[in-house]
Structure 1
Amino acid sequence: MKTKQELAGIYVASITAYDQAGNVDAAALQKLMHRNINEGAAGFFVGGSSGECFMLTEAERVQVFEAAAAYAGKTNLIAHVGAIGTAEAVRYAKAAMGMGYDVVAATAPFYYGFSPKEVCRYYYDIAEASGSPVLIYNFPGNTHREFDVANPDYIQLFKSGAILGVKQTNYNLFQMERILNLNPDLIAFDGYDETMVAGQALGSSGSIGSTFNMMLPHYKKIFDLFDAGKREEALALQHKANNCMEAMCRVGLIPAIKYELARQGYPVGEARRPFSPLTDEQKAYVDGVLDEYLVK
């Protein structure tokens, strides 16, 4: 198991690349990963929300893991294995760890109103199956599952050794700080691109972001400036990054990322329906904002 220091840094929340027929395109994903590594990525969060995970078949999710595993041992790899059912999540975890991934991560099981004990059991089962602590992918905006840090079952989970840490895709960074307070050995990653400097200020060791696919050098500068104590300069670049993020979110974040990647010379297909491709007006709007604020 890698140390907290070895796992720290900027991670790309990888998209899933498709060919013209809509099938997973391993070569296109690997080409983009190669670019991101050269730009300074510490690793990749594979098969998460940016990768349209719950819109893929089980076979496709494993196929994406296989494609990214070409870089196992060359960079840090985190596989998102979250599912509604434990058995499915366990299958993904075993597959990914067998391919050489460093860590597995999982959203909380959603849709049904699972109790805290049931949620905890899900994480214990994934940790046991993978043979490694699990990174909790804390995304209550999508899962509608909050981790109450005063709940005894969750307290026990965070202290148990079954959990590596948390990917805090939650604007409530106080919660992230409280989780780290429960167990200082845990590692935290900020999961919202737009709150990178705030996450660093409250103890995150790194950041995992969707827009890092196509604007990683900008965020790497923010991260490094903050680490160097140049906080005003980091915040100035964060403002510019947030202007870009705001524009992309207005038109549809995942479709916008895929459109901008194609514009940069990395065609990865369109996001799957019910996502809609950008209109010409939306493309012009996003292009204008990124051309003004994106630091390359």
Structure 2
Amino acid sequence: MKGIITALMVSYDQDGNLNEKGLREIIRYNVDVCKVDGLYVNGSTGENFMISTEEKKEIFRITKDEVKGQVPLIAQVGSVNLREAIDLAKYATDLGYDALSAVTPFYYKFNFNEIKHYYNSIINAVDNKMIIYSIPFLTGVNMSLDQFAELFENEKIIGVKFTAGDFYLLERMRKKFPEKLIYGGFDEMLLPATVLGIDGAIGSTFNVNGQRARQIFELGKQGKIEEAREIQHVTNDLISEILDNGLYQTIKEMLKEKGVDAGFCREPMEKLSEERIAKARSIAKNHL
């Protein structure tokens, strides 16, 4: 489960209902066009924290059915509701997902013992593997090197999706845990993370920019830093334009420009104005 892994986008219709046809088209675009190495399902990019348990299960089911073993699948099952997380972990494991992931529990400012209990409770309930999803700027949960080490004492916890800007901690983790999988989570910092020895990256912009991400990753691994840096510059120009226009909404409009029924975002995310839709389509024409 190394390499470039897309944080999978999900298609919803104008009323916010899951659009199965569109989801299948997004999956196919990622696998067939972007040529990614795997899919990370029901993460932030899939608008996971705004949908019901049953909708999450349906997304897991559709994705597994559409992929048919072509690439590895990681199921993000994390939730503030531990019972829901365990239920989703069992469901995804029964479907045959290659690994689980779970965001650190958030909102209530849980202490580390509670966080450790959360991870061990989820992964010990199933015959599967766990990848910690660390995203401090959204959860407010910052863990130290020693705390990661304590979590990694559970052999079923095999790695971390590291969506943080603390590259000193990233370097320390790489040195201390050579056997664990470390995934970069910031697409705009893929090259420096690659130089520090990550095993792969999980990102939202890979839904449209997966091929360039692979080039950056592979060139970085080969030590061809100048070449990789030029592609990172192009990628970051693209990312800047996407962020200025609205991250998830813009990626969906870019996918539509490529013939993919990517749908809309769930409320309370806003729908783009006609002007911003035109901007998104222009970004796609200029960069894809």
Q: State the TM bucket, normalised to the shorter chain.
A: over 0.9
| Counterpart residue number, 1:104 | 100
Higher RCO, 1 vs 2 (CA within 8 Å, ≥6 residues apart): 2
Does the 8 Å contact 2:254/2:284 carry over to 1? no
Match of 1:253 among 247, 250, 268: 247
Shift of residue 174 of structure 1? 2.1
Return the alpha-carbon distance in structure 1 between the equivalents of residues 112 and 156 of structure 2.
15
Return the alpha-carbon distance in structure 1 between the equivalents of residues 105 and 240 of structure 2.
29
Q: Which AA in structure 2 matches 1:57?
A: S
Distance 1:285 1:206, change over 3 A: same
| Counterpart residue number, 1:177 | 171
TM-score (norm 1): 0.91
Does the 8 Å contact 2:21/2:261 carry over to 1? no
User: Are positions 1:35 and 2:29 aligned together?
Assistant: yes
| Counterpart residue number, 1:135 | 131
| Counterpart residue number, 1:244 | 238
Match of 1:64 among 56, 59, 76: 59
- After TM superposition, the structure 1 stretch with the greater mean CA deviation from structure 2, 275-284 or 256-265, is 275-284
Shift of residue 106 of structure 1? 0.4
Shift of residue 160 of structure 1? 2.8
Q: Any residues of structure 2 matched to 1:45-194 within 5 Å, and which?
A: 45-70=40-65, 71-151=67-147, 154-194=148-188
Runs of 5+ unmatched residues, structure 1: 1-6
Return the alpha-carbon distance in structure 1 between the equivalents of residues 109 and 272 of structure 2.
35
Sequence identity (%): 33
Runs of 5+ unmatched residues, structure 2: none
Q: Which AA in structure 2 matches 1:53?
A: N
Match of 2:16 among 16, 22, 33: 22
What are the Cα deviations for residues 261-285 of structure 1, in whole angstroms up to 9, with x where unaligned?
Answer: 1111112211111211222333344
- After TM superposition, the structure 1 stretch with the greater mean CA deviation from structure 2, 283-292 or 167-176, is 283-292
Match of 2:200 among 191, 202, 206: 206
Does the 8 Å contact 2:22/2:263 carry over to 1? no
Does the 8 Å contact 1:73/1:100 carry over to 2? no
Does the residue aligned with 1:159 lie in a helix, a strand or coil? coil
Alpha-carbon RMSD across the aligned residues, in angstroms, is 1.7
Aligned residues: 286
Does the 8 Å contact 1:22/1:269 carry over to 2? no
Q: Which AA in structure 1 matches 2:197?
A: G
Distance 1:22 1:219, change over 3 A: same
Does the 8 Å contact 2:26/2:261 carry over to 1? no
Return the alpha-carbon distance in structure 1 between the equivalents of residues 100 and 166 of structure 2.
23
User: Are positions 1:224 and 2:211 aligned together?
Assistant: no
| Counterpart residue number, 1:3 | none
Return the alpha-carbon distance in structure 2 between the equivalents of residues 247 and 279 of structure 1.
16
TM-score (norm 2): 0.93
Does the residue aligned with 2:125 lie in a helix, a strand or coil? helix
Does the residue aligned with 2:73 lie in a helix, a strand or coil? strand
What are the Cα deviations for residues 193-220 of structure 1, in whole angstroms up to 9, with x where unaligned?
Answer: 1111111111111111101112222222
